Amino acid sequence: MAKIFLALKLLFLPGKKCNKKLIKLLGYCPRKQAIYDLAFIHSSASLLSPDKSVINNERLEFLGDAVLDAVVAEYLFSNYPNKDEGFLSMMRSKIVKRKHLNLLAIKIGIDKFIVANALNNSGSKHVSGNAFEALIGAIYLDKGYKKAKKFIIHKVLNTQINLEELENTETDFKSRIIEWAQKNRSEISFENQEEYSASDHSALFVSRIMVENQLMGSGKGSSKKEAEQNAAEQVYNSISSH
Amino acid sequence: MAKIFLALKLLFLPGKKCNKKLIKLLGYCPRKQAIYDLAFIHSSASLLSPDKSVINNERLEFLGDAVLDAVVAEYLFSNYPNKDEGFLSMMRSKIVKRKHLNLLAIKIGIDKFIVANALNNSGSKHVSGNAFEALIGAIYLDKGYKKAKKFIIHKVLNTQINLEELENTETDFKSRIIEWAQKNRSEISFENQEEYSASDHSALFVSRIMVENQLMGSGKGSSKKEAEQNAAEQVYNSISSH
């Protein structure tokens, strides 16, 4: 009952007075406080609305993720007038990847606002990064695209990101070893397996890398990308040490 | 020489007089005509800038793709207040998938503006969809996010898309057969192979679907997704006919 009441309050009541800590984070007083409250509700602390739909920050995260991608795309587009879209896309994926977003979110203090339930939250590693995206979604809905863009540029891109350093950070081991194989005129193939057990709904990913039909490395992960990068990092390290 | 001159003109000269056909398409007279000209240059007709960087619409496509994703995200977010992010994400991928964007682009007449080189363009099937995204990138740079959003909503979402119909279009065969397997308490796994030959830089993707270690279907494609969906559609059709 208390949960339903809180859910109703979050959804339908006008905003509370300005939260000082939130003003410090955002740089302004929210118009619609309830959207920001929602942005900080992790799925482990989900509420139920009267119509039985689940209330947490995942819808806002979906929206914020897209807005973040667009803002970062424009930022890179104008910062690198002579680089092609492959480079821009690679730089963006370095900026917005979950591990990186988690660190950024904690640096700017978003983790302190999050409502999560430790008991329900054994599996999720990306609580802060997800809330960060949800917050961007909230800013967008409350104040529009320009304000969301300003927040991302001031709070993150101009202050927390060193583009030069990022250019030189190797995160894409897969591309590196494909380049290496093609330079050496070797055939390279990635064999990925994605298993869904009958009981458990999450998938397990396994990746194997073959060069000229010889197994060169393997990796596991909770996504295809993670498994593949783990396998590729192994191969990368072994060819770099020769 | 002529190419370099055109490139310089495209990049640095102020806009030409309003192009009537373009006004009809956009609903306004562009401020920076050169950006729109650039949006219609397919990579097969690439130009070279004086500093030897390649000039075509691919950078704008990268930008427009992100803006389109954000606008469609918000549109679905507000049209489906009670649906979760999984649903929103699935609906968005139906709207923005290349095949669909190509059709939309041709319907609204974008193909007539495209400059492509038939001789260099044997491999590319998505010229119109890509130019459509590049055009969105151009509108965004010339007139801002709001105008790009208006264009997408008026020209596409409100006029060319039937959400109800789209909800019922089955495009995600993979999810369907995972659901089917789990309902039947069967283990299902996807085995994907991605081959880079030593000479050719494009990859070939092959996907096999195993249920309880029995091969149920296979497919090929130029992306992992395409190969997997082809394999999954085969399995889906065979289980639907039983």
Q: Is the dihedral of CA A39, A43, A48, A49 positive or negative?
A: positive
d(CA B206, CA B185): 26
Q: What is the pLDDT of residues B117-165, one digit of tens each?
A: 876 665 567 899 999 999 999 999 999 999 999 999 999 999 999 999 9
Q: What is the pLDDT of residues A107-116, one digit of tens each?
A: 999 999 998 8
- What is the pLDDT, as a whole number, of residue B153? 96
Query: Which has the higher per-residue pLDDT, B143 or A3?
Result: B143
Given the residues B69, B84, B111, B133, select the one marked as catalytic. Answer: B133
* Domains of chain B as residue ranges with CATH: 2-168 (1.10.1520.10), 173-240 (3.30.160.20)
- What is the pLDDT, as a whole number, of residue B15? 47
Q: Is residue B239's pLDDT more than 50?
A: yes
- What is the pLDDT, as a whole number, of residue A6? 54
Query: Between A and B, how many CB-CB pairs are < 8 A?
Result: 132
> A-chain residues within 8 Å CB-CB of B193?
189-192
- What is the pLDDT, as a whole number, of residue A15? 47
The single-letter code of the amino acid at A114 is: I
Q: Is residue B2's pLDDT more than 70?
A: no
Contact assessment for residue A231 and residue B194, using Cβ atoms and an 8 Å cutoff: no
DSSP per-residue letters across B112-136 = GG-B--GGG-SS-S-HHHHHHHHHH
β-strand partners of A204: A195
Give the CB-side neighbour count of residue A106, counting CA atoms within 13 A: 9
d(CA A7, CA A10): 5
Q: What is the pLDDT of residues A57-80, one digit of tens each?
A: 999 999 999 999 999 999 999 999
B63, B186, B194: residue with CB nearest A77: B63
A5 class by beta-carbon count within 10 Å (0-12 exposed, 13-18 middle, 19+ buried):
exposed
- What is the pLDDT, as a whole number, of residue B99? 83
- The answer, for B193 touching chain A at a CB cutoff of 8 Å, is yes
* B58/A190 CB distance under 8 A: no
* A58/B85 CB distance under 8 A: yes
- The minimum CA-CA distance between A241 and chain B, rounded to whole Å, is 23
d(CA A105, CA A156): 9
- The answer, for A90 touching chain B at a CB cutoff of 8 Å, is no
ipTM associated with this complex: 0.79
- What is the pLDDT, as a whole number, of residue A239? 86
Please give the torsion angle defined by the CA atoms of residues A144, A83, B96 and B188, in that order, rounded to the nearest 10 degrees: -120
Contact assessment for residue A186 and residue A211, using Cβ atoms and an 8 Å cutoff: yes
- What is the pLDDT, as a whole number, of residue A185? 87
**A16 confidence band (pLDDT: 50, 70, 90):** low
d(CA A145, CA A112): 25
- The minimum CA-CA distance between A104 and chain B, rounded to whole Å, is 21
Q: Which of B35, B62, B93 to mutate to test the interface with A (most CBs of A within 10 A)?
A: B62
The packing angle between helices A98-107 and A85-96, to 10°, is 50
Active-site residue B65, yes or no? yes
> A-chain residues within 8 Å CB-CB of B69?
66, 69-70
**A150 confidence band (pLDDT: 50, 70, 90):** very high
**A98 confidence band (pLDDT: 50, 70, 90):** confident
Q: Is residue B214's pLDDT more than 80?
A: yes
Per the listing, tokens 């974008």 go with B110
Q: Is residue B242's pLDDT more than 70?
A: no
Query: Which has the higher per-residue pLDDT, A206 or B17?
Result: A206
Contact assessment for residue B103 and residue B34, using Cβ atoms and an 8 Å cutoff: no
Contacts of residue A239, defined as CB under 8 A and 6 or more positions apart, other chains included, come to A177, A180
**B100 confidence band (pLDDT: 50, 70, 90):** confident
- The minimum CA-CA distance between A17 and chain B, rounded to whole Å, is 26
